[in-house]
Chains A and B, each alone.
Chain A
Amino acid sequence: MNRPPIQKTVRISIDSRSCKKCGICYGFCSQNVFTLARDGTPEVTNPSNCTYCRLCDLRCPDFAITLEVIS
């Protein structure tokens, strides 16, 4: 199914104090928004791909991800 990407600018922030580097955000993001650093820390490298499905936010066991729609 080729749905057109939803045009939204989303600001994604990861609270490094809360994050336990479980890798769930990276493992389940279908848009490859995140990459993992060598020590397992998730980094937001492709925020423009984000479709604001909010699943990374809802599945983050540590409440470390905040999503904000800018436009």
Chain B
Amino acid sequence: MSGYTFKSYLEKSQLPHMWCPGCGDGIILRAYTEALAELCLAPQEVVTVTGIGCWGKADDYLGTHAFHGTHGRALAFATGIKLGNPDLTVVALMGDGDAVTIGGNHFIHAARRNINLTAIVTNNYNYGMTGGQYSATTPLEGKTTTSPNGTAEPGFDLCFLAEAAGANFVARTTCYHAVALKNMIKEAISHQGFSLVEVVSSCPTYFGRFNVHPSPVKMLNWLKDKAVPVQKYREMSAAEQAEHFAVSTLVNKNRPDFYTTYKRINRPDQSAKGEE
């Protein structure tokens, strides 16, 4: 036993946090800190990089090293930090707005380069912090404050996007599945190369109130009903697939990460030494 508990990674003086009652972000932050404790990582070995948004506030409550960057650029900063000091464990916490709406280009290129870092993307289907506007993951006809009759744009599937761009590890779960979420984050941090954990989260204040129900319990139950294991999802008809999303590990590859490949090509002597 390392002696670390989830509380070892929290900045207690900053709590209680600013998130709304029943927000999924608190559940994900708990799973993240539990995962760090189970991996026995010292807080000073971990850098948490965040962008802007509700989930971007997570670094305020964390006792790990933290870098609070600009909107959508968390992965760009995380790439620099990881390549500057490859011994650090770098985790980027982003919302759907951060990861694929404003920072879409950074997202696909981090996956393409296969930078050895972990991205935990909280997908609550809207911009919660700024008042519930639609984002690039809001599903077609999803009601938000800027699309009161439903948006005319279909939403991105983050996991397919990351898989197509070349990510090594891609997994999806929801904040209802708290134990699976913790295990998935552990696996993602341990995996070499770019790892994505998409957490479909509940925003009872905006997306929930307009599309499902303002009750946090009903929102979590809605997520539970929408999430189906990937094997079952593949057997579904197209109409059923549109109503659900696949959860569990979707991609698990062992493509060499950027730093390993860079060393092999540019510093063959060092690369050989490192492998001994």
Contacts and interface: CB of A to CB of B under 8 A. Distances in A.
Nearest to B178: A58
B139 to A, nearest CB: 23
A61 B25 CA distance: 7
A44 interface: no
A55 B90 CA distance: 28
Interface string A51-70: 00001001111111000000
Given A22-B216, A28-B217, A63-B15, A55 B178 contact: yes
Nearest to A64: B16
B59 interface: no
Interface stretch (B27-35, B93-101, B144-152): B27-35
Interface residues of B, number: 26
Of B15, B21, B24, B220, the most chain A CB neighbours within 10 A belong to B21
A17 B15 CA distance: 9
B75 interface: no
Interface of A: 17-18, 20-24, 26-28, 55, 58-64
Interface of B: 10, 15-17, 19-27, 30-31, 34, 175-176, 178-179, 182, 204, 215-217, 220
